Amino acid sequence: MTEQEFIKNLTELNITPPSDALAKLKTYCTFLQNYNKHTNLTAITETKDIYLKHFYDSLTIIKVIDLNTINTLLDIGTGAGFPGLVLKIFYPDLEVTLLDSNNKKLKFLEELCEKLDLKVTLVHARAEEYIKDKREYFDLVTSRAVASLPILSELSLPYVKVNGYFIALKGEAQNEIQSSSHILPTLNSKIIEIKEFTLPIEESKRTIIKIEKLKPTSPTYPRPYNQILKDYK
């Protein structure tokens, strides 16, 4: 996806970029490519693929939610900043927290945010650890290509405010959706929207799953990660 194709597809998503967003993405792309030469951040390194599979893909979340109505966002397993940092660039009023257990990726994000003059909260921790400080704090929790939906739901939903949302960005996800049917009621949550579509140009499948938090989650959750894994093998 070229920059012009990216702009065209943003129009089709009804997104009007802030005046500095495209310049910030150029800097993001170049810095990611250079940093990736010495620190493994992503297997996607061609400019056209970064624009399609990282930048555009991150923004498709607006198919299921109006980010202008959201104040606080947590991106779990953010990696090189997808989708959380891209969303901050396009929705600068968002209070964004980027969480990852890989300190090398957090160092990349720290340097990048300085370059882009973006104020976000960077957290080096596992999701089941950071919850102690931020239980039911966020309007929206996102996660992209991190773990299976049952595992992600248990890690993410305790962070979500009542009447807030957890949105997972995935590829093919029907099996994961089915295997989440038991844990979601336990977490006092339910799937309210599933959006399936294909990315432009290459037409790979994408699924966005929007889950609403109906009532507070028991403080029992999330359980230790090893215990979660044992249940969903």
Tell the burial category of 172 from Cβ atoms under 10 Å away from its Cβ (0-12, 13-18, 19+).
exposed
106-136 burial code (b ≥16 CB/10 A, e <16): bebbeebbeebebebebbbebbbebbeebbe
pLDDT in tens, 90-130: 999 999 999 999 999 999 999 999 999 999 999 999 999 99
What does the pLDDT read at residue 232? 78
Mean pLDDT along residues 152-163: 97
The confidence band for 233, taking pLDDT boundaries of 50, 70 and 90, is low
What values do phi and psi take at 142, rounded to 5? Answer: -120, 160
Which among 93, 50, 100 is positioned nearest to 75, based on CA atoms? 100
The confidence band for 218, taking pLDDT boundaries of 50, 70 and 90, is very high
The confidence band for 230, taking pLDDT boundaries of 50, 70 and 90, is confident
Alpha helices in 67-126 (DSSP H): 84-90, 103-116
Structural domains for the chain? 3-231 (3.40.50.150)
The SS3 assignment for 196 reads: strand
* Cα-to-chain-centroid distance, residue 51: 16
d(CA 36, CA 231): 35
